[in-house]
């Protein structure tokens, strides 16, 4: 797996997204990732809820981080073409309460200029079901 090089300037929005995700996972501060989302953006995961705008992105990523004591996403493949970014990844870490976790997924971003206009992610939800931890949901 590859780690995004923090010393290298990302060449496109997909690489900026990957780098910002790894930063928020390390720091707990979601703002570097939220800043990449457009005001009218949408975010979706395996739930039926849709988050919108930068406030929705903030809520989504804060809820994501709240599931974990620690989490680290490593990217195995990524591609950006035709205003779409694709990222294949594996995340490892510990859930709140200390259970180890490893799961894989794919995330897609739609790009409008220099901002993310839509985010969708698909992942192995069985990793969460088996531990009893809920996925990122809206309250």
Interval 74-122: pLDDT, tens: 999 999 999 999 999 999 999 988 889 999 999 999 999 999 999 999 9
Contact at 8 Å (CB) between 44 and 64? no
Helix (H, G, I), strand (E, B) or coil at 42: strand
Show the tokens assigned to 120.
């969708």
pTM score? 0.85
The total of other beta-carbon atoms located within 10 Å of residue 136's CB is 21
Return all residues near 23 (Cβ < 8 A) that are at least 6 apart.
6, 29, 32, 33
């Amino acid at each position: 797996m590859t780690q995004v090089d923090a010393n290298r300037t990302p060449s496109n929005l997909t690489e900026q997204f990957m780098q910002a995700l790894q930063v928020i996972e390390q720091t707990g501060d979601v703002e570097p990732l939220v800043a990449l989302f457009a005001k009218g953006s949408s975010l979706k995961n395996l739930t039926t809820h849709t988050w919108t705008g930068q406030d929705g992105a903030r809520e989504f990523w804060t809820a994501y981080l709240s599931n974990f004591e620690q989490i680290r996403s490593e990217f195995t493949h990524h591609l950006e073409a035709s205003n779409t970014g694709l990222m294949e990844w594996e995340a490892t870490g510990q859930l709140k309460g200390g259970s180890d976790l490893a799961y894989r997924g794919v995330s897609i971003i739609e790009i409008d200029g220099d901002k993310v206009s839509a985010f969708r992610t698909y992942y192995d939800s069985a990793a969460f079901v088996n531990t009893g931890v809920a996925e990122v949901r809206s309250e």
